[in-house]
Amino acid sequence: MVFLLNNEKIRFEKFECVGMNADECKPISAKQPEGIIGLALASGKISHIKNIPDESQFSFSAIAGSLKPREIITIPIFSGNETVAFISIFSIYKYSLLSIRLLESIFTTLTSRMNGILVYKKTIEMSEQLEIQNSELEAQKNELQTMTDELNEQNTELEQQKQQLGEVSRLKTNFLSNMSHELRTPLNSVIALSGVLNRRLAKKIGTEEHSYLGVIERNGKHLLDLINDILDISRIESGKVEVEKNSFNISTLVSELVTMIKPQADQKLVGLNFIDSKKEIILESDYNKCLHILQNIIGNAVKFTEKGSVDIIAKVENGHARLTISDTGIGMSKDDILTIFDEFRQADGSNSRKYGGTGLGLSIAKKYAELIGVRIKVASQLGKGSEFTLIIPLKATYSEKEIVSIPHEMIPGNHYSKMSNTERKAILLVEDTEAIVIQMLDILDEENYTVKVARNGNEALDYLLNETPDAVILDLMMPGMDGFEVLRQIRNRKQTADLPVLILTAKILSKEELSVIKNNNAHQLIQKGKVTKENLLEAIMLLMLKKEENDAEIKAEVFPVHVNGKPKILAIEDNKDNMLALKALIGEKSTFIEAFDGFEGIEKAKEHLPHLIFMDIAMPRKNGFETFKEIRKIAELKHIPVIVVTSSAMRGDKSYFLDFGFNGYISKPINPELLNKEINEWLIIENN
């Protein structure tokens, strides 16, 4: 007979009971197991009971009637230090010494197989919870229903093959991979094409109808985030999430997150304030995990706050960074606090309808915190607000696994530029999804790029035999030859060995896959579903621009500027909304000069000789890098401080721009405090 520990961990319940009287297969207490079974569970070892007397309560049901066993072997099954199941086998004969040795030799394998059953049960539970979530994803119900049907078919097959327990883990992994691909592919198409229509139909259809496209795009991205959360939970539970160690300033990380989340708070008229100690708090920890934890907690605080503010305080205390996130939101009861980190749970079931979400954000944050040694404390009062406190060791104590990091951000590398701004740059797009092809062409055709499309790997390699473009945008998941093999062959050919390659993918990359990309010198990586016109163009420009390490003109010495009266500030920015934001923030304090592309920016700089320049990167005709290089070549302009203003806010981007030669860095959306900090650093106002 086979008994498994139930979810409440209070008793062992029958899984299989062959040859026993039904009355003898009752649940067994896990707290105080008794009798022969209790002896085995208490010892934690294989128990072999011999010479069982006739008055034993155990009996077999056979054709000849009930038979009493002579010997019983009980095998406890462990998961970690916990007994999670046991197997008992009975015989009317004496077991041979060889049989006993066989059981001892397969004990480890048997334990693994039994744990596979528990994984299987967990898979079914997760599948049922996912089916419940489908009701909230009305727009994608057909695709999700298909996946649910496939899952039910797989579950039926697993039920029929329960004796082949080793297959459970493999089937689960395959399902998650298929789910990721099958759900992400149509979602990315929805996001890409709604973005294309949003751009093409602006001012061509009614304002209300045009706004529908924005709704489709936003909800598509929201749905993608929900699916990513479910996949993250599965990856964590399967042990496929690894940790790394980075050195970074936690205050800078919080400032960047506040900048990113602040538009959501502003829309609700909720204050979002970071009370910085003005001191660097340098951590040695996992940057991406800390980012994810803080983003979930701060984002939740803003989501559940209808009025008042969300305040963040950072300080150092007893060898730890202590971050406190307090809000004036809906708050929680004591009972709710006990369950907020559970999967698919929110403080109140009705909140999922009012505020949205899967209830996975805090669960993922908690699991990441446990991985990297971060403690999370929660205090709350219903109707008055909540306070989350993160206690992060300044120096990580966990062991770092050997991994290749940054699966979701651009990977810095060598950057190339083969053509001047007056020539059309040639890009080979290797992509089999029509919606993504349309999205890429829609963005790039207007930006001085000639795009050749290859629908599969073989077509791409045939093209590269005769033509060498300036860069390649490469999808990874394609039928036939995948992107990994295409990348290998590009690097193995002499004429394309140094060809810049940007990876475009919807796939969650493993450590091994990231290693393949890095070892084959793919310079950048960008995720489908997160593509915007601005970040794509900046990624391509970074890709194609060769960094001049010893360019004295770019590396000109620049010092703070003394100004009598109002300073002259030149903003070079092609987006009118961004220009308006800059003007609103600094226009009254300065003589504000506007230029809407690089050529106009250079002419305005020559005409007005500004004290400070703010420079966008992704601009038509002449991008920010080219404009910056031209400014540094002009004698009367070369010593003017130039601050880059960019939507490229990934980790490492700031240092890249500063290394290139820019004198400061501000990410979009613009944080007024950081903007004023840059101005005060470079302009010394002397009022007469």
Angle, CA of 445, 509 and 522, to the nearest 5°: 50
Q: How far apart are CA 400 and CA 397, in angstroms?
A: 9
Which portions of the chain are predicted below pLDDT 70?
A: 21-24, 35-36, 55-65, 134-135, 137, 139-140, 143-144, 161-185, 222, 226, 229-240, 277-278, 343-359, 399-423, 511, 523-524, 545-556, 647-653, 656, 687-688
Question: Under a CB-based contact definition with an 8 Å cutoff, are residues 358 and 335 in contact?
Answer: no
The parent domain of residue 74 ranges over 2-105
Angle at 181 between CA 426 and CA 470, to 5 degrees: 10
pLDDT given for residue 462 in this prediction = 92
Four-CA torsion 505, 511, 512, 518, nearest 10 degrees: 70
Structural contact between residues 288 and 406, judged by C-beta atoms closer than 8 angstroms: yes
Q: Are 369 and 469 members of one domain?
A: no
Q: Are residues 376 and 463 in the same domain?
A: no
Question: Is 407 contained in some domain?
Answer: no
* Domain harbouring 637, CATH code: 3.40.50.2300
The enclosing domain of 60 has a CATH number of: 3.30.450.40
Phi/psi-derived region of residue 480, left when phi > 0, alpha when psi is between -120 and 50, beta in every other case: left
Nearest-angstrom CA–CA distance, 416 and 620: 19
Q: Quick check: is 556 in a domain?
A: no
If asked whether residues 263 and 364 sit together in one domain, one would say yes
* Cβ neighbours, 10 Å, residue 486: 26
Cβ-based neighbour number of residue 125 at 10 Å: 12
Residue pair 515/484 in contact (Cβ under 8 Å)? The answer is no
Number of domains in the chain: 5
- What does the alpha-carbon distance between residue 69 and residue 24 come to, in Å, rounded to a whole number? 13
Residues 345, 273, single domain; the answer is yes
Question: Per residue in 179-199, pLDDT tens?
Answer: 655 666 677 777 777 777 877
Instruction: Report the distance separating Cα 656 and Cα 171, nearest Å.
Output: 43
Main-chain phi, psi angles of 328, to 5 degrees: -110, 40
* Bridge partner list, 172: none
Neighbouring C-beta atoms of residue 470, cutoff 10 Å:
21
> Is there a single domain that holds both residue 78 and residue 52?
yes
Q: What is the DSSP letter of 174?
A: H
Please say whether the beta carbons of 442 and 434 come within 8 A: no
Say how many C-beta atoms besides its own lie within 10 A of residue 104's C-beta.
12
Burial per residue of 286-311, b for 16 or more beta-carbon CB atoms within 10 angstroms, e otherwise = bbbbbbbbbbbbbbbbbbbbeeebbb
Note the Cα 410 to chain centre separation in Å: 13
- To the nearest 10 degrees (0 to 180), the angle between helices 672-682 and 576-586 is 60
Rounded Cα–Cα distance for residues 451 and 458 (Å): 17
Instruction: Report yes or no on 553 lying in a domain.
Output: no
The answer to whether residue 680 sits within a structural domain is: yes
CB within 8 Å of 687: residues ≥ 6 apart: 564, 565
* Contact predicate 208/215, CB 8 Å: no
pLDDT score recorded for residue 552: 42
d(CA 669, CA 555): 27
Looking at residue 48, its pLDDT comes to 86
User: Are 258 and 389 in a shared domain?
Assistant: yes
**pLDDT computed for residue 411 by the predictor:** 32
Of the candidates 670, 679, 678, 583, the residue with the CA atom closest to the CA atom of residue 259: 670
Q: Give the separation between CA 665 and CA 600, rounded to whole angstroms.
A: 22
In this structure, the answer to whether residues 379 and 494 fall within a common structural domain is: no
Co-location of 619 and 646 in the same domain: yes
Token output for 360: 């996975």
Q: 82-91 and 2-5: which strand pairing?
A: antiparallel
Residue 143 lies in a domain: yes
- Stretch (H or E) spanning 631: helix 624-633
Same domain, yes or no: 66 and 38? yes
Q: β-strands 375-381, 385-393: how paired?
A: antiparallel
Amino acid at 215: V
Identify whether residues 523 and 627 lie together within a single domain: no
250 and 377 part of one domain = yes
* Residues of the chain by 3-state class (helix, strand, coil), percent to 5: 45, 20, 35
The model's pTM: 0.44
**How far is the C-alpha of 149 from the C-alpha of 133, rounded, in Å?**
15
For residue 610, give both structure tokens: 């500004």
Distance CA 360, CA 358 (A): 5
Picking from 544, 572, 587, the residue at the C-terminal end of a domain is 544
Q: Is 311 helix (H, G, I), strand (E, B) or coil?
A: strand
> Concatenated DSSP letters for 549-582?
TT-TTTT----PEEEESSPEEEEE-S-HHHHHHH
Strand, helix or coil for residue 384: coil
Is there a domain that residue 406 lies in?
A: no
Q: Is 654 within the bounds of a domain? A: yes
- 201 SS3 class: coil
Domain boundary among 81, 105, 129: 105
On whether residue 416 sits in a domain, the answer given is: no
Domain end (from 393, 408, 433): 393
CATH of the domain at 288: 3.30.565.10
pLDDT tens sequence across 50-79: 887 776 666 666 555 677 778 888 888 888
Same domain, 382 and 261: yes
CB atoms under 10 Å from CB of 285, counted, come to 25
